[in-house]
């Protein structure tokens, strides 16, 4: 692939790691953010110590507070901002962008209130004459491992297969590989909903339960994620792929996962406000739990793990009692899809 200019919006841990992947592939990368101290550090020291204390980035990776500078002559734009500000940033991009680009996002969540997927938000806010079909970049990935060039395999999903193939070529190298998929609904819901199950898996650990319980919550969590996704129009096979079970495993079993760590702290009795303050990063699983619970109630989808976590977070229920309460749920067949 010839050299491309990529605007990466959001210099968080994942945005920074993806910027490095793109730079490794010979592309011109510009990281945009709104924290002056962070951008200054990226520009002068080529570090992002808020997330990676010992990593020095290639000096060719640019950083800016000016969105117009980041978007100027860009071939592609990658959103890696928290779910709750995606719409706001998309509006800013729509006001600033003056040409058509490939539009991508690598965030995982559902918008509170509207319950919308992130690609839908981008489609709503950015005019069609400024973008192609949206490409979703998602899968089992910890920024802490990608930044040191550990092997990572994820998915590029778009309704436009050619757009997905473009993104596949844009990112893929000898340590970072993408597979294409046209099931945008499945990939986005899998990426968002697995964060809820990761909170549950962490809570079990914090409560002192072992591997049996962990395997149970991950397996049954995948079942309820799939139930909801299929109800929304996803292909069930997507949930057995990288963006489904792959992402669920990596997020539900690793101390790198902020959602797992949040659940672990909840299980140990810490208060949510303290957990969020101490984490210093957005815990997408917390807000996604509320959105998923509301959708499940609206559509009549059986999601006992999501319900238990929702009650613990939003209704003040005891975490242990909420989780153990699932053990007294009605007896069901393992393969029920309602």
Here the tokens at position 330 are: 């009605």
According to the annotation, is 13 in a ligand binding site? yes
According to the annotation, is 257 in a ligand binding site? yes
Active-site residue, 194 included: yes
According to the annotation, is 247 in a ligand binding site? yes
The dihedral built from the CA positions of residue 122, 125, 126 and 132, taken in this order, carries a sign that is positive
The residue among 53, 188, 36 whose CA lies nearest residue 120 is 188
According to the annotation, is 322 in a ligand binding site? no
According to the annotation, is 139 in a ligand binding site? yes
According to the annotation, is 14 in a ligand binding site? yes
Residue 67 dihedral angles phi and psi, to the nearest 5°: -65, -35
**What Cα–Cα distance (Å) separates residue 76 from each residue in 3, 27, 83, 99, 261?**
11, 11, 20, 10, 33
According to the annotation, is 282 in a ligand binding site? yes
According to the annotation, is 194 in a ligand binding site? yes
* CA pair distance 41, 318, nearest whole angstrom: 43
| 321, 201 Cβ separation under 8 angstroms | no
Exactly one of 3, 62, 100, 194 is catalytic; which is it?
194
Which residues lie closer than 8 Å to 16 by C-beta, 6 or more apart?
Answer: 31, 48, 51, 52, 57, 143, 147
According to the annotation, is 108 in a ligand binding site? yes
Using the CB atoms, write b or e for 249-280: b if 16+ within 10 Å: bbbbbbeebbbbbbbbbbbeeeebeebbeeee
According to the annotation, is 109 in a ligand binding site? no
According to the annotation, is 284 in a ligand binding site? yes
According to the annotation, is 258 in a ligand binding site? yes
According to the annotation, is 51 in a ligand binding site? yes
| 143, 105 Cβ separation under 8 angstroms | no
In the block, tokens 């949040």 appear at 262
According to the annotation, is 328 in a ligand binding site? no
The residue among 103, 106, 107 whose CA lies nearest residue 82 is 107
* CA pair distance 254, 181, nearest whole angstrom: 26
* CA pair distance 245, 222, nearest whole angstrom: 7
Q: Which residues participate in the annotated binding site for substrate?
A: 108, 258-259
Q: Which residues participate in the annotated binding site?
A: 10-15, 51, 108, 139, 141, 143, 194, 247, 257-259, 282, 284
Q: Which residues participate in the annotated binding site for NADPH?
A: 13-14, 51, 108, 143, 258, 282, 284
Active site positions, annotated:
194
Q: Which residues participate in the annotated binding site for sn-glycerol 3-phosphate?
A: 108, 139, 141, 194, 247, 257-259
Q: Which residues participate in the annotated binding site for NAD(+)?
A: 10-15, 143, 258
């Amino acid at each position: 692939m010839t050299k491309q200019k990529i605007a990466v919006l959001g210099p968080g841990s994942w945005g920074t790691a993806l910027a490095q992947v793109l730079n490794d592939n010979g592309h011109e990368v510009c990281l945009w953010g709104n924290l002056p101290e962070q951008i200054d550090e990226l520009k002068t020291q080529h570090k992002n110590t808020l997330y990676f204390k010992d990593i020095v980035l290639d000096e060719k990776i640019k950083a800016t507070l000016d969105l117009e500078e980041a978007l100027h002559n860009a071939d592609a734009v990658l959103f890696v901002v928290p779910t709750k500000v995606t719409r706001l940033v998309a509006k800013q991009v729509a006001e600033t962008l003056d040409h058509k680009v490939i539009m991508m996002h690598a965030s995982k969540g559902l918008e509170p209130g509207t319950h919308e997927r992130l690609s839908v938000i981008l489609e709503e806010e950015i005019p069609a004459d400024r973008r192609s079909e949206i490409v979703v970049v998602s899968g089992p990935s910890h920024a802490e491992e990608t930044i040191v060039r550990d092997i990572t395999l994820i998915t590029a999903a778009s309704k436009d297969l050619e757009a997905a193939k473009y993104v596949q070529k844009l990112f893929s190298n000898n340590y970072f590989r993408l597979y294409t998929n046209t099931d945008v609904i499945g990939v986005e819901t899998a990426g968002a909903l697995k964060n809820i199950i990761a909170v549950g898996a962490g809570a079990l650990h914090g409560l002192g339960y072992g591997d049996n319980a962990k395997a149970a919550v991950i397996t049954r969590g995948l079942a309820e994620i799939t139930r909801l996704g299929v109800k929304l129009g996803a292909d069930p096979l997507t949930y057995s792929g990288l963006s489904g079970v792959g992402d669920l495993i990596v997020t539900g079993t690793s101390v790198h996962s902020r959602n797992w760590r949040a659940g672990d702290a909840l299980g140990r009795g810490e208060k949510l406000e303290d957990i969020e303050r101490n984490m210093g990063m957005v815990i997408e699983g917390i807000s996604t739990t509320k959105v998923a619970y509301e959708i499940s109630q609206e559509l009549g989808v059986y999601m006992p793990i999501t319900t238990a976590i929702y009650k613990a977070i939003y209704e003040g229920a005891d975490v242990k009692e909420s989780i153990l309460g699932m053990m007294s749920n009605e007896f069901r067949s393992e393969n029920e899809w309602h």
